């Protein structure tokens, strides 16, 4: 169920009061129509509704966990019963509303090769979903507005808004709610929007009418671009080995990453978008540009100069990152990532000033052991 993107976040139309009266009719179809209109007013690019029945893919989840494909994210092993039967998140859940916000329109980043060859400001990129304020807050604030209004109109209704961190299978729910289909890179691909979306869901005891599913066809066919392009070989069709994914290594992993994975981060300082950049569904088109990008993603913090990051402490890290979703990355972790990104620069220009920075780090016995270990390994690799 796709929503035209004329209404941006905060531009609540004057028709809202009338819409709430429609919701109060308790007719599931009218409630769904009201919810979808409200998600549009709140700024979401797409939304849909599904029932709250258990996951059809519990076998895949268990195999992923049993095979250790969650890597260092031990929290994925908690509440597996809820991931498989997400209605448990709110007793009495009847329906799930899933909403998507679009953070990018597919235009490529300009890569600063001049900087790498001659200059001093080589930089590391931030994955696009994190270029702006913390999306968990943005998405939850919007859906909680809808929740408050629906629950006021339907007394006795209860619910919960989830975004990312709660143990619910967001992509599977989004697929069921008709937002799109899951690709081989495991991301939800929505028609016209591609996979440049983040998802949030509202579990409610209200009965809403499900929206039609997107057709069951496979969005990939014979394409294997994401599998071929992933620098660490983390993707097999419809499964990502998170222990090898650059997103895990740069954001989730507090312990020392394996050098054979860390040495492949390229210029990704936080997260990685490669398996999305290459996807045919994600390329910019006239239609995708017209759909627009959510105004919350203002492009802030798209990249950081590596030499600056190497100097970060907790205070300067917080000042640089602001209220972005990346604040979960501590200063030593960010500096460690910058060291690995420096490998990419030094391979092309071994005399870049980053080399001296890394040498100073290895010489400083008081510095963080992980950062020193990474610097030593990188210097050995370019020797």
- Binding residues for ligand B12, rule: CB under 6 A, are 55, 57, 60-61, 64, 73, 76, 127, 129, 163-164, 168-172, 182, 185-188, 195, 197-199, 238, 240, 242, 245, 247-248, 252, 271-273, 275
Min CB(176)–ligand SF4 separation in Å = 19
Sheet holding 95-102, edge to edge: 46-51, 95-102, 197-204, 159-162
- Say whether residue 235 binds ligand SF4 (CB under 6 A): yes
Q: For the segment 150-209, give every residue that binds ligand SF4 (CB under 6 A).
A: 183-185
Residue 211 CA to residue 190 CA, distance in Å, equals: 15
**Complex with ligand B12: residue 123 or 186, whichever CB lies closer:** 186
State the CB neighbour count (10 A cutoff) for residue 218. Answer: 14
SS3 assignment, position 75: helix
Tokens representing 158 are 């209860």
Query: How many CB atoms are closer than 10 A to CB 54?
Result: 14
Q: Which of ligand SF4, ligand B12, none interacts with 337 (beta carbon under 5 to 8 A by kind)?
A: none
When the beta carbons of 89 and 246 are compared against ligand SF4, the nearer one is 246
* CB nearer to ligand B12: pick between 28 and 133: 133
Those residues whose C-beta lies under 8 Å from the C-beta of residue 274, and which sit 6 or more positions away, are 226, 229, 230, 231, 246, 268
Stretch that binds ligand SF4, among 117-125, 136-144, 219-227, 359-367 (CB under 6 A): 219-227
109 is a catalytic site residue:
no
31 binds, among ligand B12, ligand SF4, none (CB under 5 to 8 A by kind): none
**Which of the residues 29 through 88 are near ligand SF4 (CB under 6 A)?**
none
Stretch that binds ligand SF4, among 138-146, 276-284, 306-314, 366-374 (CB under 6 A): 276-284
> Could you give the CA distance from residue 41 to residue 29 in angstroms, rounded to a whole number?
19
Which of ligand SF4, ligand B12, none does residue 242 bind to, with CB < 5 to 8 Å depending on kind?
ligand B12
Question: Of the residues 164, 218, 308, 368, which is catalytic?
Answer: 164
Q: How far is the CB of 267 from ligand SF4 (least distance, A)?
A: 12
Q: Give the Cα separation of 232 and 150 in Å (integer).
A: 45
Q: How near is the Cβ of 168 to ligand B12 at its closest, in Å?
A: 6
Chain length of the chain: 383
Q: How far is CA 317 from CA 172, 328, 333, 365, in A?
A: 35, 11, 11, 22
284-291 long-range Cβ contacts below 8 angstroms, 24+ apart: 284/105, 284/106, 284/107, 285/106, 287/192, 288/105, 288/106, 288/192, 288/193, 288/194, 289/105, 291/5, 291/45, 291/102, 291/105, 291/192, 291/193
Residues that bind ligand SF4 (CB under 6 A): 183-185, 219-220, 223-226, 230, 232, 234-235, 240, 245-247, 272, 274-275, 278-281
**Residues annotated as part of the active site:** 164
């Amino acid at each position: 169920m796709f929503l035209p993107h004329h209404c941006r976040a905060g531009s609540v139309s004057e028709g809202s009061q009338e819409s709430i009266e429609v919701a109060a009719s308790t007719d599931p179809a009218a409630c769904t129509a009201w919810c979808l209109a409200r998600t549009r007013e709140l700024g979401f690019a797409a939304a849909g509704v599904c029932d709250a029945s258990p996951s059809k893919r519990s076998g895949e989840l268990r195999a992923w966990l049993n095979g250790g494909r969650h890597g260092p994210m031990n929290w994925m092993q908690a509440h597996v019963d809820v991931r498989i039967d997400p209605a448990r998140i709110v007793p009495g859940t009847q329906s799930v509303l899933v909403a998507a916000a679009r953070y990018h329109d597919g235009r490529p980043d300009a890569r600063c090769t001049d900087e790498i060859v001659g200059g001093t400001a080589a930089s590391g990129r931030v994955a696009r979903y994190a270029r702006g304020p913390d999306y968990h807050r943005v998405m939850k604030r919007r859906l909680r507005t809808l929740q408050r209004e629906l629950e006021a109109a339907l007394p006795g209704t209860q619910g919960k808004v989830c975004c990312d961190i709660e143990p619910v299978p967001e992509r599977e729910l989004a697929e069921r709610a008709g937002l799109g289909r899951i690709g081989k890179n495991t991301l939800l691909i929505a028609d016209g929007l591609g996979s440049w979306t983040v998802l949030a869901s509202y579990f409610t005891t209200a009965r809403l009418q499900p929206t039609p599913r997107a057709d069951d066809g496979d969005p990939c066919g014979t394409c294997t671009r994401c599998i071929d392009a992933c620098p660490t070989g983390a993707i097999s069709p419809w499964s990502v080995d998170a222990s090898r994914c650059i997103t895990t290594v740069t954001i989730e992993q507090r312990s020392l990453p394996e050098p054979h994975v860390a040495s492949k981060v390229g210029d990704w300082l936080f997260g990685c978008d490669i398996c999305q950049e290459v996807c045919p569904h994600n390329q910019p088109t006239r239609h995708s540009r017209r759909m627009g990008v959510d105004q919350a993603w203002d492009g802030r913090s798209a990249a950081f100069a590596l030499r600056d990051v190497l100097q970060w402490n907790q205070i300067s890290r917080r000042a640089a990152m602001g209220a972005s979703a990346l604040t979960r990355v501590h200063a030593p972790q960010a500096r460690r990532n910058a060291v690995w990104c420096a490998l990419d620069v030094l391979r092309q220009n071994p005399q870049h000033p980053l080399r001296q920075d890394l040498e100073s780090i290895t010489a400083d016995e008081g510095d963080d052991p992980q950062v020193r270990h990474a610097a030593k390994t990188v210097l050995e690799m370019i020797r």
